[in-house]
Amino acid sequence: MQYHETQGHKMHVKFCGFTQLSDIQTAAQLGADAVGLVFYPPSPRAVTIEQAQTLSAAVPAFVSVVALVVNMTKDELIKLANNVSFDIIQFHGDETPEQCQQLADMVNKRWIKALRINTEQDSLDSVRAQINQFATAGASSILLDAYHQDSYGGTGQRFDWSLIPHDSALPIVLAGGLDADNVATTLDLPIYGVDVSGGIEVDKGKKDAAKMRAFMKAVKRDRWQNATVTGAI
C-alpha cells in the first residue's frame, strides 16, 4: 500500500535528543507528538537507562517515546526494553530490514528506520527501493536524514529534498538541519512528520523553550492562529 499525503494534512512533530526533565515537560506542553531519547553512548545527547526512566515517566499519555539506537545488540535492546518505558524503536545505524524486524519482534515493539540519504549517490529510485524493503519487513514509518560519513545523524545538515518520493510505501519523517526558520518550507513536501534535534537547542541535549515554541508555531499554524486573539489556548 502506498502512503499518500493529502493537502492540509496534520504534520507530526518529533523532538529528539532530550536529556533534561524540564525540556521534556515543555515539549509536551507545546504539543509535540513524540520525544526521542538517544541510547548511543558516543552521542553528546546520549542518556543512561536511569536518566531515561526519569524522562519517560514525565511524558504524558498519547505522546510517543522513541528510543533511538545505533547497531545495538540483541542483549542490549532486551535490557533497554525491560528497564525503560518506550513506544517505538528508531533504528539509526546500519541495521538491515531483517535485523530491524528480528530485534523489534524480540521486544514486541513497533519500529522505524532512519535512512541516511547521500545526495551524490542516492536517486529517487534507490530511496524508494530502500523504503520498500523496510515496509516489507514491518516498519511503521521511515525517517530520512542527511548522510555524513563520520556520523549516524544529528549533523544538522540537509540533503536534497527532491529525493523524497511522492509514492512512498511508508509515511516519511524528515530530519536533518530543520529549525523554526526553514521548517515551513517542508509543509508542501510529501511527508508525514518532521524530526528536529539541534534546531531547538542551546547546547547538545539542552533544549531552548523559545526555539521549541517557534518550531511548533511554524509547523502547526492551525493550532496557534487564534492564540493571540483569545489570549489563551
Which residues are designated catalytic?
16, 145
Task: Find all residues with CB under 8 Å of 123, minimum gap 6, and list them.
Answer: 163
Residue 153, by phi and psi: left (phi above 0), alpha (psi -120 to 50) or beta?
left
Q: Which helix (H) or strand (E) holds 63?
A: none
On whether the CB atoms of residues 204 and 47 are closer than 8 A, the answer is no
3-state secondary structure of 39: coil
Cell numbers 499525503: residue: 5
Largest separation between any pair of C-alpha atoms in the chain = 53
On whether the CB atoms of residues 33 and 14 are closer than 8 A, the answer is yes
DSSP for residue 15 = E
